A = this chain, B = another copy of it.
Amino acid sequence: MDIIRKGRGELFTDPDPDHARAFFQKKSRKMVNKSMTLAKAIETFVHDGEYFALGGFGANRTPIAACHEMLRQRRKNMGFCGHTSTHDFEILCAGEVFDRVDAGYIVGLEARGLSPCARRYMQTGKVKVTEWTNYSISARLRAAAMGVPFIPTRNLLGTDTFECSAAKIIECPYTGKKLALHPALYPDVGIIHVHESDVYGNVRVRGILKSDNDLARASKRVIVTCERLITNEEIRRDPTETTFPYFLVDAVCEVPYGGYPGTMAYEYFSDEEHLREWLKAEEDPDVFKDFLQRNIYDCKDHHEYINKNGGMEKMLQLRTIEHLLHKEGKR
């Protein structure tokens, strides 16, 4: 079971499960009120130079409010987990928040096209990149959530994606097959936007989960932003509904529409018009600078951003679109 080949990509985080265990051992398991403002949570739990990861898939259930707050607080020199990242990546590049990235999916916005700002930043050479795939990053978070230093998979093999990764190819001692070992990824901090949480951090998510169950478990610190707080009694009424438990969580921030302008399943659809505004503004760096100033740096919080872009009326429209209510009677 020798190492057949090693990717030459840099490993930005420590895969040692005993180091992570030593951290988790000291983490409080007390069920105490962890609700606070998002500004306070970012200030307390996200530090320059650290490695962070975000929940959600693309612009769906993504903690956009938290991204804006990180820009307002001028976070710098961070490592970022580019796992299915789209509008979040675009914002973080605008703030030049990170200087190293594990790349699963970056710079694009799926069917919406590619972000000029993100591409410019990634083409400067200022950002160290290690290549992975979306599943590779899932598997790395899975390994960390399990508490083991790696997981074997059958992707990456034979490609340059492997060559630019930090995976290692070995021969399986049971079958002789070649496997790509994926090192555990323990982010310093994970930020996850969810539907509901109690003040302790018992969380409920509806709809697709992407890798957020494992992200919450793998991250040394976890910030939850939620559409709404619910009672602990409600959580305990139906524990089958809970997605992850309180002892993983450090901060709970109630941020309604915290995923705007992305989609929040069962709540509101994405604001495609506003996302196009972003892409358009990015084409000219000067225009984009003003755009960021108005939409992020001059805003006190996420609500001010929303008010500048349509406020409650827009939110109700997006809710109507989400629920396909405009189609009632047509199908």
Total interface residues on A, using CB and 8 Å?
29
Determine whether A172 belongs to the interface, using a CB cutoff of 8 Å to chain B.
yes
Give the contacting residue for A206; candidates B146, B152, B240; CB below 8 A.
Answer: B240
**Residues of chain B with a CB closer than 8 A to A16's CB:** 174-175, 177
**Residues of chain B with a CB closer than 8 A to A174's CB:** 15-16, 149-150, 168, 181, 183
Give the contacting residue for A149; candidates B150, B168, B177, B240; CB below 8 A.
Answer: B177
User: Provided the pairs A206-B240, A240-B206 are in contact, do residues A149 and B170 lie with their beta carbons within 8 angstroms?
Assistant: no
| A151-197 CB contacts (< 8 Å) to partner B | 151-154, 168, 170, 172-175, 177, 179, 181, 183
Proximity string of chain A (205-231) to chain B, C-beta cutoff 8 Å, 1 when within and 0 when not? 011000000000000000000000000
Closest to A139 in B: B146
Q: Are B2 and A177 in contact (CB under 8 A)?
A: no
User: Provided the pairs A1-B2, A207-B240, A240-B207 are in contact, do residues A172 and B150 lie with their beta carbons within 8 angstroms?
Assistant: yes
**Residues of chain B with a CB closer than 8 A to A177's CB:** 16-18, 149
Q: Are B149 and A153 in contact (CB under 8 A)?
A: no
| A121-170 CB contacts (< 8 Å) to partner B | 146-154, 168, 170
Q: Are A17 and B154 in contact (CB under 8 A)?
A: yes
Closest to A154 in B: B148
Shortest CB-to-CB span from A90 to chain B, Å, is 28
Bound together, the chains give a CA A3 to CA B173 distance in angstroms of: 8
Assembly stoichiometry (copies): 2
| A1-16 CB contacts (< 8 Å) to partner B | 1-3, 15-16
**Residues of chain B with a CB closer than 8 A to A151's CB:** 146, 148, 151-152
Shortest CB-to-CB span from A130 to chain B, Å, is 14
Bound together, the chains give a CA A218 to CA B181 distance in angstroms of: 21
Shortest CB-to-CB span from A246 to chain B, Å, is 18
Q: Are B17 and A170 in contact (CB under 8 A)?
A: no
Bound together, the chains give a CA A207 to CA B239 distance in angstroms of: 7
Give me 18 A-to-B residue pairs in the complex whose CB atoms sit less than 8 angstroms apart, sorted by A's number.
A1-B1, A1-B2, A1-B3, A2-B2, A15-B174, A16-B177, A146-B153, A148-B151, A148-B153, A148-B179, A149-B179, A150-B152, A150-B172, A151-B151, A152-B152, A168-B173, A174-B183, A206-B240
Known contacts A17-B154, A18-B175, A148-B154, then 17 further A-B pairs from the complex at CB < 8 Å, ordered by chain A residue: A1-B1, A1-B3, A15-B174, A17-B177, A147-B154, A148-B153, A148-B179, A149-B175, A149-B177, A150-B152, A150-B172, A150-B174, A168-B173, A168-B174, A170-B173, A173-B181, A206-B240
